[in-house]
Amino acid sequence: MCGRLTQYHGIHDFVAVLSIPDALINHVGDAPLNRYNAAPTTVLAVLHQHEQRVYADTLRWGWRPHWAKDRPPPINARVEKVAHGAFFRAIWRHRLIVPVDNWFEWVDGEDKTRQPWLIRRADQQPVFCAAIGQFPTPGSAPRDDDGFVIITADSVGGMLDIHDRRPVVLCPKLVREWLDPATPPERAEQILLWESEPTEAFEWHRVGKAVGNSRNQGAQLIEKIG
């Protein structure tokens, strides 16, 4: 996963398919998010759960532990290592979801330029990316190093031709289980490793190269080109 995604629907459009039994605690607002080209360090909408309530908050894309000041904040975490490696140990139990409309990958072309592709669910439903992070719980203050990383896995099938990694995407039923603080860490790891959405759930198409500049925004960036 190269690190570019979209969040252009409103938060209520994302959570409508989750059948959340209680009212969402919404700190994001009701308007469309209108992020057609979100890059690392962008503040994005995320979902997390505290006790029995689900919260929509904003959080920076990228996180690193305080002792790793010699490297840029990672934006992704490999599913093969995230549960047991030392780097993400402090946030492994702090689970969240990054709801997106789609994400972008780049492929090297024969003309030595990079062709961007848009990847989305084939059924046009929201994409729920599994993530972990450091974020304030109700009643606590934000910290300067708050942020999140998206968990990625190996690509398989036709998606491998676009990129060798992809975000771990969960179906709505597993989103609730992933977010629930009562879900044991062992079960959370099992969800990531064995129960994410398969390649067959997605489709992809070429888009214009304007998406390569993160300053560019707008619906034209997601339009299919020949």
Could you list the active site residues? 2, 105
Rounded distance between C-alpha atoms, residue 35 and residue 217, angstroms? 7
Backbone angles phi, psi at 129, to 5 degrees: -85, 125
Rounded distance between C-alpha atoms, residue 47 and residue 167, angstroms? 16
Instruction: Find, among 2, 99, 121, 114, the residue nearest to 45 by Cα.
Output: 99
Token match 């946030």: residue?
A: 91
Distance between terminal CA atoms of the chain? 23
Count the Cβ atoms, other than its own, within 10 Å of residue 194: 7
Backbone angles phi, psi at 170, to 5 degrees: -110, 145
Burial call 1-14: b when 16+ CB within 10 Å, e when fewer: bbbbbbbbbbbeeb
